[in-house]
Amino acid sequence: MNGLGKSLVIIFGIINLLLVIFQVSTGKRWLKVNFKWHRRLGVVLLITAIIHAVLADLAL
């Protein structure tokens, strides 16, 4: 994989880590934001996790 591909896998990995932290924090209501953001960003996380996996696995 070229340098751009590797960078993208790393960037999506960091985005996923931040989104998982956000999801657990809002799901447990440690972080008080409108719950619609938990539902919306949960779906965004599904998509970014799939992109991360496809890039890392198929594009390596």
Interface residues with ligand HEM (CB under 6 A) are 20, 23-24, 27-28, 38-39, 42-43, 45
Q: What is the helix (H) or strand (E) element at residue 46, kind and residue range? A: helix 36-58
Tokens found for residue 2: 């070229």
Q: Which is nearer to ligand HEM, 24 or 50 (CB)?
A: 24
CA gap 46, 13 in Å, rounded: 12
Nearest approach, Cβ of 25 to ligand HEM (angstroms)?
8
Helices and strands in the chain: count of H runs, count of E runs? 2, 0
Instruction: State the nearest-atom distance from the C-beta of 54 to ligand HEM, in Å.
Output: 17
Closest distance between ligand HEM and the C-beta of residue 4, in Å? 27
